[in-house]
Amino acid sequence: MNFGKDTPVGFIGLGVMGGGMAHCLLRQGFRLHVSGRRPEALAPFVAAGARAEASPAGLARACNLVILCLSDDAAVEAVLFGAGGLAEGLAAGSCVVDTSTISASSARAFGQRLQAQGVTFLDAPISGGQQGAESGTLNTMVGGPAEALEACKPVLQAFCKTITHVGAVGAGQTVKSCNQVAVAGALLGVADAIALAKSQGVDPAVMRDVLLNGTARSFVLEKHGQRVIAGDYKPGFRVSLMRKDLRIALKTAADAGAVLAGAPVAEALLDELVRDGRGELDWAVLGQRVQEKRSA
């Protein structure tokens, strides 16, 4: 089966990221069906042309392709298998694409349960932030059958610039964890560089400009480094969510006997921020927490 603009597409999880993705689908003419716990959250999408369904099960009966963008493992499991969940309405041959960030082990378990009723599951976590979701320039790393991904690509391309098949179900979540570990380590380095510059009376903005023209250049230095220097922590991707993602990565590593060096440091600092009441700020505030440590 190939999914395209003539195929009803279901979407559950219309938050900061999912909302942007859903609007991309609507702007490009897809027949979108939405479901959620709060009717007022669905209203902007219905006004833009989506059809509201009363429950995930009802949405599944109307759509052979369903996209999820939810907060954690428990939320995905509840939408899939809870009372009135998708599994009650999904027909054999349907496909669920989960763009949430959850553990690889949960993705594999969900995939196996759906496979038993003839439904394909793709774990397709995304990166690119709120701006990427709204502009349709996200990146996704997809685990699951390659042929199912090919069938879904015309839909995923509505909100993704890059779509990469990385292996079997669960591999997408593993690669996403690798991404989060890498960017957390990079932000720790940028924050340390800012702290060092300040300690020597060097303007951190000047230091950043110099580094951007050399081997230290990175997306994190360019984007998050500027946020740290300016003290701009209006949320794009929140502290609480990055802490959740790093905890997933750390547990995945521990279960496999792998040792991570930088991720535990970043997770501990993010946890301090959550306990300080800053969990809803952009996770770049991790850089500020490092500055606070240096001045303590």
Q: Kindly report the three-state secondary structure assignment for every residue of 37-83.
A: CCHHHHHHHHHCCCEECCCHHHHHHHCCEEEECCCCHHHHHHHHHCC
Q: Are 199 and 212 in contact (CB under 8 A)?
A: no
Which of the four pLDDT bands, split at 50, 70 and 90, describes residue 112?
very high
Identity at 63, one-letter amino acid code: C
Whether the predicted pLDDT of 175 surpasses 70: yes
Q: What is the mean pLDDT of residues 163-177?
A: 98
Among candidate residues 5, 153, 161, 176, the one labeled active-site is: 176
Whether the predicted pLDDT of 182 surpasses 70: yes
Q: What integer best gives the mean pLDDT of the chain?
A: 95
Which pLDDT does position 236 carry in this prediction?
82
Which pLDDT does position 4 carry in this prediction?
84
Helix (H, G, I), strand (E, B) or coil at 238: strand
Beta strand spans in the chain (E): 9-12, 32-35, 51-52, 65-68, 95-98, 120-123, 126-127, 138-143, 160-167
Span(s) in the chain for CATH 1.10.1040.10: 174-295
Which pLDDT does position 293 carry in this prediction?
81
Q: Return the CATH superfamily for domain 9-167.
A: NAD(P)-binding Rossmann-like Domain (3.40.50.720)
- 88 secondary structure, DSSP code: G
Which pLDDT does position 278 carry in this prediction?
97
Q: What is the mean pLDDT of residues 201-219?
A: 97
Distance of alpha carbon 143 from alpha carbon 124, whole angstroms: 6
Which pLDDT does position 211 carry in this prediction?
98
- 119 secondary structure, DSSP code: -
pTM, two decimals, is: 0.92
Percent of the chain with pLDDT over 70: 99
Does 219 or 296 have the greater pLDDT score?
Answer: 219
Least confident segment among 112-121, 141-150, 284-293: 284-293
Tell me: the pLDDT tens digits for 91-100?
A: 999 999 999 9
Tokens 């957390």 — which residue? 184
Does 75 or 294 have the greater pLDDT score?
Answer: 75
Strand partners, 14: none
Q: Return the CATH superfamily for domain 174-295.
A: N-(1-d-carboxylethyl)-l-norvaline Dehydrogenase; domain 2 (1.10.1040.10)
Q: Are 122 and 97 in contact (CB under 8 A)?
A: yes
Q: Are 35 and 12 in contact (CB under 8 A)?
A: yes
Whether the predicted pLDDT of 129 surpasses 90: no
Least Cα distance to 184 among 126, 256, 243 occurs for 243
Whether the predicted pLDDT of 295 surpasses 60: no
Which pLDDT does position 2 carry in this prediction?
81
Strand partners, 167: 143
Q: What is the mean pLDDT of residues 107-116?
A: 98
Least Cα distance to 50 among 62, 119, 160 occurs for 62
Q: Is 176 a catalytic residue?
A: yes
62-96 as b/e: b if 16+ CB within 10 A: bbbbbbbbbebbebbbebbeeebbbbbbbeeebbb
Whether the predicted pLDDT of 294 surpasses 90: no
Whether the predicted pLDDT of 202 surpasses 70: yes
Span(s) in the chain for CATH 3.40.50.720: 9-167
Tokens 């501990």 — which residue? 268
Phi-psi region of 117 (alpha: psi -120 to 50; beta: other; left: phi over 0): alpha
Which of the four pLDDT bands, split at 50, 70 and 90, describes residue 88?
very high
Distance of alpha carbon 132 from alpha carbon 126, whole angstroms: 10
